[in-house]
Structure 1
Amino acid sequence: MKGNVIVGQSGGPTAAINSSLAGVYRTAIDRGAKKVYGMIHGIQGLLQERYLDLSQYITNDLDTELLKRTPAAFLGSCRYKLPEIHEDMEVYKKIFAILDKLEIEAFIYIGGNDSMDTIKKLSDYAIITGHPARFIGCPKTIDNDLALTDHTPGYGSAAKYIGTSVKEIIRDGYCLEYENGVVTIVEIMGRNAGWLTGAAALAKGEDCDGPDMIYLPEIPFDLEKFTQRVKKLLQKKSSVVIAVSEGIRLKDGRYVCELGDSIDFVDAFGHKQLSGTAGYLSSFIAGETGSKTRAIELSTLQRSASHLASRVDILEAYQVGGAAVKAADEGDSGKMVVLVRHSDDPYQSGTEVKDVHKIANDEKLVPREWVTKDGTYVTDEFINYVRPLIQGDVSPVMVDGIPRHLYRPLNL
């Protein structure tokens, strides 16, 4: 590698996203890159010429290990949608002028579906203009909904946190008895894909019955049938715990959260902000049953809980970061690194690169056969798919009883 590398992070962060950043940095340096720049707040920050030299922050092996264990996006993230090339050529001219100024040979972008859209457009512009820079996507999303990859870095750690938290919530429900029972509804992230919500089933084991029901957004939600099932469960047990995706919808396409007083906010990519599903359902069930109800939103906790990260996830995140640099160095562009599962027992995986045009703006949903016929739980096939991804622990570096993270000033 003769030139410089620039790397950015985009979309929602994960507990493993900085491990990919560490993999990019270390591999680029090992392959001879002169400098590795980090975009501050992704492509949006790059357009404002906001970037830093990562060597100022990663000065030794301890810094690398701290970075791998640091949650959220160390460089800062964004949700910025590049215009189509024919709509605004000036944006691309500005970006490529900055890349030329920094003598960039490889552009690595760590993110999910929308981030791969950025890689697709930039690599297309490079082809149109004959620019030599190479553009590679590095997968990241707790949603696990990227096409062509077995799974995505970030998902394993989020699944581990969800399974653990749901198990602890179930245990908590055993403590007190209420005259009409208690119903706890746990809201888990997932707009269109139920990979995260399905992970609630990991709570089930010899010492725990697991959640009573699991509802994924792939299956239309029937409020009347839901209420009937809850009433039947309350006849058998005093504590009911249900996991629901924030994105569950009725047959007519309305999100359940829209039945309540949710805020109607749409981001740059046209995605509605979803919140309040558990709150609405818990209030509705309280009125229908007279039971005590609780609504719990795991919210950002499921993507920021680095203290409960999966070792497999952290190692694979580092691996795909390195593979992205390797792909660019060997001449690939307009590609994304994917994870390929070779076996479950023992678990083994490797990396390949795939055309980003076949990945960007697509979503991988939970297969219908991995959900029970009545749509209220996931099957053993789902659990067998997820379980290898949550294995192992990554011990935080503790200082004064609290995890230490790699730090940079936020006002750069």
Structure 2
Amino acid sequence: MSENLLILHGGGPTAVINASLYGSVMEALKHKEIGTVYGAVGGTAGLLAKRFVDFSKVPASQLELLKQTPASAIGTSRTHLQEDDYLKMVSILKKHHIRYVLLNGGNGTMDTCGKLYRAARSEDIRVIGIPKTVDNDIAITDHCPGYGSAARFLAQTTAEIVQDVRSMPIHVCIIEAMGRNAGWITAASALARQKGQKGPDRIYLPEFSFDEEAFLADTQNLFTKHGCAVIVASEGLKKADGSPIVPPILQRGRDTYFGDVGAYLAELVIKKLGIKARSEKPGILGRASVLCQSPVDRDEAVLAGKMACKAALEGRTGIMIGFERLETSPYSIRVIEIPVEEVMMHERPMPKEFISEEGLGVTDRFIEWCRPLIGGDLLDFAWFGD
């Protein structure tokens, strides 16, 4: 009897998560030893509910659309799993003759991947992780599929906002960037400074403690000098004591919801400095925009999905596919296999060598590292002002 393969998504989607799905499905369909290629509809919750899509019945034209489809075409989830859920999963996998399981996601999903691997190894069910996160905070791998597109979106968006603010210099604009506790996306706003174009005046990363008084003094100086300012701030900014700069607004079960950092900082500028200010929060637009999808990111996502499938068929299990950078110019990487237990819930912050000494920007080393991932130059603009 042929053995089946299952692919599932976990956590927040990206602009290229479906490209990894495409890579895995197309590779799996080549192999006669695989009977049915399933997708779990709704992540781990879909697996536990036995909600599957059979990709062998999906028209080729629809599969090709995966490379340009944002979010997750098979759904995803952030289901809080209990220990016995993993035993239930193994039972379901056995019942459906699924021998190969590919989990595509970020830190939480890699934790799930590792736990499922432990629960399933005595049954010879092979479990492989495919990295996915706009936050780029998975350990060991040079970068993650999803990040390059999110970085491109924020860099392009920042460049456009800077152009707008410069053309009518009357206020302070705060751009809030995603990324949780790591500043990778926030830092990418620095790529707006290309070909002599202006970029953000300040970049506030979560790797540095936020000092409210210093922020207000610096913002006042920027406004006095230029009549305007563009500041990019991470959603994960924290005070020196480790608490978020914005108080929680709702507690529901395990989840705590906080107010918007950008709105909070803009309100501070208005109230404390008497300066007109506004906040911009692209939010999930930054992870859903196919218009800003990086071709490098897309191709590497396809590659990661493909190599995960190959690894499972070749007998590997308990690993995550990763990338090792060989060169930055010209850019090249190679695929590596990382024991999943080395990346389970291990957040990777921005390294010190990528952050400017004062903590309000990034170094040239970061720019060089990040630039290839966004897949080409941003749009250039005309400017005839000072």
> Scaled by the length of structure 1, what TM-score is found?
0.88
Q: 1:391 maps to which residue?
A: 375
1:51 aligns with 2:27: no
CA distance in 2, matches of 1:212, 1:318: 36
Task: Report the counterpart of residue 130 of structure 2 in structure 1.
Answer: 138
In structure 1, the partner of 2:195 is 206
What is the distance in 2 between the residues matched to 1:383 and 1:56?
A: 44
Q: Name the residue aligned to 2:207.
A: 218
Match of 1:281 among 265, 277, 280: 265
Q: Which amino acid in 2 is paired with 1:351?
A: V
- Preserved contact between residue 169 and residue 226 of structure 2 (Cα < 8 Å): no
Read off the aligned partner of 2:298 and give its amino acid letter: I
User: Given the superposition, is the C-alpha separation of residues 275 and 387 from structure 1 closer, same or farther in structure 2, using an over 3 Å criterion?
Assistant: farther
Tell me which amino acid in the other structure corresponds to 1:322.
K
CA deviation string 1:51-78 (max 9, x = no partner): 1112233x22x33331110000111010
Asked whether 1:381 is paired with 2:365, we answer yes
- 1:83 is aligned to 82
Aligned partner of 1:340 among 304, 324, 328: 324
Task: Output the amino acid matched with 1:335.
Answer: I
Q: Deviations over 1:172-202 (max 9, x none)?
A: 1123243xxx100000012110000000101
* Structure 1 residue 136 displacement after superposition: 0.3
Q: What are the within-5 Å matches in structure 2 for residues 1-40 of structure 1?
A: 2-32=2-32, 33-40=34-41
Contact 1:27/1:325 (CA < 8 Å) preserved in 2? yes
Give the 3-state SS of the residue equivalent to 2:25 in structure 1.
helix
Rounded to whole Å, the distance in 1 between the matches of 2:280 and 2:260 is 10
The one of 299, 304, 310 aligned to 1:326: 310
Q: Distance in 2 between matches of 1:170 and 1:43?
A: 41
The AA in structure 2 aligned to 1:307 is L
Change (3 A) 1:117 1:250: same
2:249 maps to what in 1?
263
Q: Give the TM-score normalised by structure 2.
A: 0.94
Q: Which amino acid aligns with 1:264?
A: L
- Deviation for aligned residue 1:369: 2.4
Check 1:313–1:95 CA distance in 2 against 1; reply closer, same or farther (3 A cut): same
Structure 1 residue 207, shift from structure 2 partner: 4.1
CA distance in 2, matches of 1:388, 1:271: 36
Partner of 1:255: helix, strand, or coil?
coil
Contact 1:211/1:241 (<8 A) preserved: yes
1:112 is matched with 106
Aligned position for 1:401:
none
Offset of 1:238 from its aligned partner? 1.6
- Aligned CA-pair RMSD: 1.6
Task: Report if the CA contact (8 A) 2:86-2:115 is conserved.
Answer: no
Residues 87 and 119 in structure 2, CA contact (< 8 A), matched pair in contact too: no
Q: Which residue of 2 aligns with 1:174?
A: 166
* 1:154 and 2:146 matched: yes
Label 1:56 to 1:15 Cα distance change in 2 as closer, same or farther (>3 A). Answer: same
Q: Which residue of 1 aligns with 2:96?
A: 102
SS of the aligned residue for 1:30 comes to coil
Structure 1 residues 356-371: aligned runs within 5 Å:
356-371=340-355
Contact kept? 2:233, 2:262, Cα under 8 Å: yes
- The answer on whether the counterparts of 1:10 and 1:110 sit within 8 Å (CA) in structure 2 is yes
- Compared with structure 1, are the counterparts of its residues 309 and 225 closer, same or farther at alpha carbon in structure 2 (3 Å cutoff)? same
Letter in 2 for 1:149: T
Q: 1:208 & 1:271 partners in 2: Cα distance?
A: 41
% identical aligned pairs: 40
Q: Distance in 2 between matches of 1:265 and 1:326?
A: 43
Contact kept? 1:246, 1:257, Cα under 8 Å: no
**1:349 to 2:338 alignment:** no
Q: Deviations over 1:348-386 (max 9, x none)?
A: 112111110000110111012211121111111111111
8 Å CA contact 1:246–1:275 kept in 2: the answer is no
For residues 177 and 150 of structure 1, the distance between their equivalents in structure 2, rounded to whole angstroms, comes to 39
The more displaced of 219-228 and 363-372 is 363-372
Alignment partners' CA distance in 2, 1:161 and 1:251:
30
Query: Contact between 1:286 and 1:292, CA under 8 Å: does it hold in 2?
Result: yes
Question: What is the CA distance between 1:266 and its match in structure 2?
Answer: 5.9
* 1:97 to partner: Cα distance: 2.0
- For structure 1, which runs of at least 5 residues remain unmatched after alignment? 394-412
Inter-partner Cα distance in structure 2 for 1:146 and 1:212: 29
Cα deviation, residue 345, structure 1: 1.1
SS in 1 for 2:94: helix
